[in-house]
Amino acid sequence: MSSTDTSADKYAAVREDIVKVFPKEDYDDGSFAPVVLRLAWHASGTYDKNKKDGGSDGATMRFKAEAEDGANAGLEVARQVLEPIKAKHAWITYADLWTLAGCVAIEHMGGPHIEWTGGRKDKNSEADCPPIGRLPDGALGKDHVLDVFVSRLGFTVQETVALIGAHTVGRCHADRSGFDGPWTETPTRFSNQFYKQLLHNTWVEKKWDGPRQFVDEDGDLMMLPTDMALLEEPFRPYVELYAKDKQKFFDDFAAAFLKLIELGVQKRGKL
């Protein structure tokens, strides 16, 4: 990069390199994009609006305490995939790289464009890690979802339903979270299938030695207890809305995800 390159040009080059690392035929469903999206989500979802700490600023998952949080199991894959990009573009912070990569992953999978803004800084001490246990626990129910998303993170009920719609991509792994299987038949395509299948499939508790989860009649797809909670009030009307209107989901998800990755980050002008 020459000294005349603008910030926008520099970030565009990073975006191009991020897209190049996604295809991986022998990983999960052929793409690293879902796990990179999960990295951005988990790096941001530790924010506490009451204590004004946590969140994507700092990229504290680089440190052992947060990296080894059980809720972050498997995310070393995403961090390692992005490491060569950090080495090539040494000027970008991990905090910016991880959140930008999550946004690029969403768009790469056919989802909405997120109006991402750079400027996050990296923290340099394990003491800066947020307390363990702030990320959502998929084994719990409605009260837990409301406590995490509304009471601590500061989202509305509708924003909460939109954000959980990220489960339209990716899958769970028994050797990571304990849960197992994909949420949808198209785990690398960002769509509103999560809501459609949540509403229209028949879900039964899976009979196995693992944690409580639900499977469809064929046993091919799964839902977490926190997903099933969305069929209850006050969430269900928004599940029904997004199942019917993909564009509305995309618009609301883009706004809610931007809010998520900005929690605790000083506002800057768009690049």
Distance from C-alpha of 136 to C-alpha of 159, rounded to nearest angstrom: 15
CB atoms under 10 Å from CB of 237, counted, come to: 12
Q: Is the pTM of this model over 0.85?
A: yes
- Fold category of 9-134+258-262 in CATH: Peroxidase; domain 1 (1.10.520)
Per-residue pLDDT band at 268 (split at 50, 70, 90): low
Length of the chain: 271
Q: How many helices (H) and strands (E) does the chain have?
A: 11, 5
At the second CATH level, the architecture of 142-253 is: Orthogonal Bundle (1.10)
The question of whether 173 is a catalytic residue gets the answer no
Instruction: Sketch the domain layout of the chain as residue ranges.
Output: 9-134+258-262, 142-253
Tens-place pLDDT, residues 187-221? 999 999 999 999 999 999 999 999 999 999 999 99
Q: Give every strand in the sheet of 222-223, ordered side by side.
A: 204-205, 214-215, 222-223
CB atoms under 10 Å from CB of 87, counted, come to: 8
The question of whether 183 is a catalytic residue gets the answer yes
Per-residue pLDDT band at 22 (split at 50, 70, 90): very high
Q: Per the residue annotation, which of 41, 98, 116, 183 is the catalytic one? A: 183
Q: Per the residue annotation, which of 41, 42, 98, 108 is the catalytic one? A: 42
Tens-place pLDDT, residues 161-183? 999 999 999 999 999 999 999 99
Distance from C-alpha of 133 to C-alpha of 118, rounded to nearest angstrom: 27
pLDDT of 115 reads 96
DSSP type of residue 122: B
Q: Helix, strand, or coil here: 117?
A: coil
Closest to 261 in 3D by CA, of 142, 163, 195, 152:
163
pLDDT(50) > 80: yes
pLDDT of 10 reads 93
Per-residue pLDDT band at 124 (split at 50, 70, 90): very high
